[in-house]
Amino acid sequence: MKKKIAFSMIMAMITTFIISFLLISINVGFGDKFMAIWLKSWALAYIMAVPAILIMAPRVEKLVDQIIK
C-alpha cells in the first residue's frame, strides 16, 4: 500500500505541475499574478489528483488488462 500511495503522490505532483502550468500560462499569461494563480491552482489540482489516482488506477489497470489479453 505504501508503494501505491507514493506512486500516486509522485504521479499527481508531476502531472498537475505540467498541466496546471500549461493551462494557466495559456489562459492567464505570464503577468504579475501568474505565480500566485498557478501555485493555488497546482495545490488544488494536487489535492484532487492523489485520491483520484488511488481510486482510478486499479480500475484503469483492469481495463487495460481486458483490452490487451
State residue 69's pLDDT score. 84
Q: How confident is the model at residue 1 (pLDDT cuts 50, 70, 90)?
A: confident
State how many domains the chain has: 1
pLDDT tens for each residue of 15-61: 999 999 999 999 999 999 999 999 999 999 999 999 999 999 889 99
State residue 24's pLDDT score. 95
Place of cell 509522485: 10
Question: Which domain does 39 fall in, by range?
Answer: 2-67
Q: How confident is the model at residue 4 (pLDDT cuts 50, 70, 90)?
A: confident
Q: Is the pTM of this model over 0.85?
A: no
- Cβ atoms within 10 A of the Cβ of 23, count? 13
